Amino acid sequence: MKNETETEQALAEHVIGWMALHDRVGRGLGVRVVSVKPYAVTLALTVSAEMLNAHDVCHGGVIFSLADSAFAYACNSQNDSALATAGSVQFLSPARLGEELIATARQVAQQKRIGLYDVTVATADGRTVALFRGSSYRVQAALAPPQPQPGGAEPAVES
């Protein structure tokens, strides 16, 4: 029998897998899931030529999108459907062509419906590119469909 931590981890992996499959913007940017924990997610992308602005550095919108995706994945990781209410970013260092950007999101606080999350976007060598803070609102619904049960059995439905 799974303990609570194993159950939360399995749910997080299921939900994040479902989100990654259905996140068309993330797929278009080449976002990859690096690690998953309940309420904490790490995503990555490699800066391509199409992501560069006129200064020949990664466009801030791409960095914001990566951070926002990590935030969204983290706040939805336990299948409590949540939407962003605000997000802000501070750009600290430019990202250049070919660099891998790694966005690590973690929950800072969660009330019944309002959550607060921090995301650090860094290069693979650890240089911080941006800091993002987002707030979310839980809409009291599940996001992903229930997990398939081992052996192909249908998931239990609560009444």
The residue to which tokens 């802000």 are assigned:
88
Output DSSP code: residue 148: P
In sequence order, the β-bridge partners of residue 103 are 43, 121
| Confidence category of residue 153, pLDDT binned at 50, 70, 90 | very low
Tally of CA atoms within 13 A in the half-sphere of 79 that contains its CB: 16
Give yes or no for residue 155 having a pLDDT over 60.
Answer: no
Query: Looking at residue 157, what is its pLDDT?
Result: 32
Q: Contact at 8 Å (CB) between 101 and 47?
A: yes
Q: Which domains does the chain have, with CATH numbers?
A: 4-146 (3.10.129.10)
How far lies 60's CA from each of 35, 73, 81, 82, 106, in Å? Answer: 24, 20, 27, 24, 21
Query: Looking at residue 25, what is its pLDDT?
Result: 95
What pLDDT, in 10s, does the model give residues 105-128?
999 999 999 999 999 999 999 999
What pLDDT, in 10s, does the model give residues 27-57?
999 999 999 999 999 999 999 999 999 999 9
Query: Residue 5 corresponds to which amino acid?
Result: T
Sequence-ordered list of residues with C-beta below 8 angstroms from that of 107, at least 6 positions apart, any chain:
39, 40, 74, 75, 115, 116, 117
Averaged pLDDT, 88-99: 98
Q: Contact at 8 Å (CB) between 108 and 116?
A: yes
**In angstroms, rounded to a whole number, what is the distance separating the alpha carbons of residues 76 and 22?**
13
Averaged pLDDT, 53-66: 98
| Confidence category of residue 149, pLDDT binned at 50, 70, 90 | low
| Confidence category of residue 151, pLDDT binned at 50, 70, 90 | low
Query: Looking at residue 4, what is its pLDDT?
Result: 74
